[in-house]
Amino acid sequence: MPIKNAYISYTLCFMLHFLCGVTAVFTQKVTVSNEINIRPNNAYDILPNIGENILFYHDRGNEQVFEIYDQNLRYKRTKQLFFDKKNLQVLSLIPRKEDFLLIYSFKEEGMSVILMGQYDAYGEMIQTDTLVYEKSKILSVRHRFIHSEDKSKTLLFAPMDGGLNMLLVNNDSLQLIYGFTLIFKEFNFKEDFQKITMSNEGEVFILGKKEDNFSKNNKDRAMILKVSDAEKISLHYLVSEKQYMHNLLMSYDNLNQHIVVAGLLSTSDESVATGYFSSILNGRFPPFETLIHPNAFSLEFIAEFYGKKPGKIKELSGFYTREMVLRQDGGVLLITELQKQYTRRAPMTNANRFGEFVSVRGFVDYYHEDLLILSMNKSGAEEWKKILFKKQFSQDDDGIFSSCFVFKTPSRIRLVYNDEIKTHNTVSEYVLDPAGNYERNSVLSTEYQNLKLRFRDAVQISPVSFIVPSEKNYKINMVRIDYYNGLN
């Protein structure tokens, strides 16, 4: 058993040559928690900044357990939540500044019951309230959830009975705002559904797309449903002429009160890209259709990327949207990544009892390579684009240690990633300013630290700090990285 109060803290110093030509010194403090066993877990989560604590959540089916740490990742205590009913299902966990909320469900004598509990920073119950108590099939499907940006509201949703079952919860009052199944004849919620987002006021926006639309009329349309309540529902179309929209992302900008949709464009399918776009829709909803503003990749840009002569290759292949960053001025930063996946047959085959040879399971190779960063203004026009080079390879791990973490600071973006997918590894970052200037730095080395960092699952806890899980052999270490005196 690991020693529960053990932790490691060390500071790394680097000399950086800043973009303005001035050499400066900054430090990073890296703190590592004790090992946390997740072998019996169905899932886990990290809840930062709950009061003065950081909570590590274990979902073990019938057991809900929280390990409580201080801000330096020193273990304090373990708290298991106890419930009157068995076989309950956790639907959502909502971290807040001083407490957290747990929405869970169970069946009781033919009734569907959904409750919401409020717990303090040490897992002690403050209060609980019933959200749903009715005879229905609501628990026959697995609900997903989203939170509003300010954590004041939570939406539970799931395809059900030919529509989308929606439960909107007020997190401050622990009360259900509404619950109904949305049915809209133009929208197939199982086949057309792409993304969903919500404003702080509780307005829900659902993005959908019919995949055969483009081939029929050389025009591509995406649908956006706005749901204020069961009686206030409106539909808007986002239209692309002569280009197919794919890899779509959507977010609600609460500062500027509008919806942003962005993605890639092609003349054929989603495996290639000839351009990209972003489109802003007023939150009050505009007229029936909005035409997108397309940005094309020039043949010179494509040739430069592939190292070929202009004109030989006319599209980028294998890029997928990774994240969309909203700017205060209404502009958008679209982060895309080159991803490839190959399945290789095993070199040996097995013969079955009929003498036929059957290939045994092969290997799956995952490649997460260059980042393409696309900056657009609030009108959707291109401001700049940059390719940031990296090359990550892994095998049979679903790529969980690959890609990058988008760390947002007041004046720039940091893209933090593993140089190589192995235990002894260098962690690097690209530091990107609003004008598209960037530099690449080394952040830390995991050599002799026995760490395998999952940057895709990192959690930002302040403008200068984040926590990233390190996973190895069903054991997790929480790793906290704090930046000091650097570029914020």
At 347 the pLDDT is 56
Helix (H) or strand (E) holding 182: strand 175-182
What CA–CA distance (Å, rounded) separates 305 from 286? Answer: 38
Choose among 272, 389, 267, 387: nearest CA to 320: 272
Residue with tokens 């960092």: 453
Residues in the chain: 488
Walk along the chain (488 residues) and give the pLDDT tens digit of each residue.
Answer: 333 344 444 433 333 333 333 334 457 899 999 999 999 999 999 999 999 999 999 999 889 999 999 999 999 999 999 998 888 999 999 999 999 999 999 999 889 999 999 999 999 999 999 999 999 889 999 999 999 999 999 999 999 988 999 999 999 999 999 999 999 998 999 999 999 999 999 999 999 998 776 666 778 999 999 999 999 999 999 999 989 999 999 999 999 999 999 999 999 888 999 999 999 998 777 668 999 999 999 999 999 999 888 888 999 999 999 999 999 999 999 999 999 999 986 655 554 444 454 445 568 999 999 999 999 999 999 999 999 999 999 999 999 999 999 999 888 999 999 999 988 899 999 999 999 999 999 999 988 888 999 999 999 999 999 999 999 999 999 999 999 865 45
Burial class from Cβ neighbours inside 10 Å (0-12, 13-18, 19+) for residue 462 reads exposed
Backbone angles phi, psi at 76, to 5 degrees: -115, -55
Work out the burial of residue 225: count CB atoms within 10 Å of its CB; fewer than 13 is exposed, 13-18 middle, 19 or more buried.
Answer: buried
Q: Of 401, 452, 481, 459, which is closest to residue 47 (Cα–Cα)? A: 459
Provide the pLDDT for residue 110.
87
Give Cα 110 to chain centroid, integer Å. Answer: 36
Output the pTM of the full model: 0.89
